[in-house]
């Protein structure tokens, strides 16, 4: 499902700094933190936010091609140990 986008202009500098600090503290990008805060303000509880994030991640990985390894993992581990 395509996601909508939102662009916010003319953010007051103190608000921008606060958002940046919150993003750093939670190890998120500025956009991720803004989205997190908007979801919280919209009333989604933390469990719903986690479930929505997992659904987005699942959708992302389902669209990625499958990983094909050059050899079975056991063989790669043995080869690495033998080096």
pLDDT, tens digit (0-9, with 9 covering 90-100), for 40-78: 888 777 788 788 889 999 999 999 998 888 899 899 999
pTM for this structure? Answer: 0.52
Which has the closest alpha carbon to 19: 32, 33, 8, 6? 33
15 or 6, which is more confident?
15
Residue matched to tokens 């921008």: 16
Q: How far apart are CA 36 and CA 58, in angstroms?
A: 18
- Residue 55 pLDDT: 94
Answer yes or no: is pLDDT of 1 > 60: no
Q: How far apart are CA 22 and CA 26, in angstroms?
A: 6
Tokens read off for 17: 């700094």
């Amino acid at each position: 499902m395509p996601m909508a986008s939102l662009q916010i202009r003319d953010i007051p500098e103190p608000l921008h700094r606060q958002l940046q600090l919150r993003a750093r503290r939670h190890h998120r990008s500025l956009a991720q933190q803004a989205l997190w805060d908007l979801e919280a303000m919209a009333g989604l509880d933390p469990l719903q936010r986690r479930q929505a994030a997992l659904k987005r991640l699942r959708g992302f990985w389902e669209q990625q091609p499958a990983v094909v390894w050059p050899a079975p993992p056991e063989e790669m581990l043995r080869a690495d140990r033998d080096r």
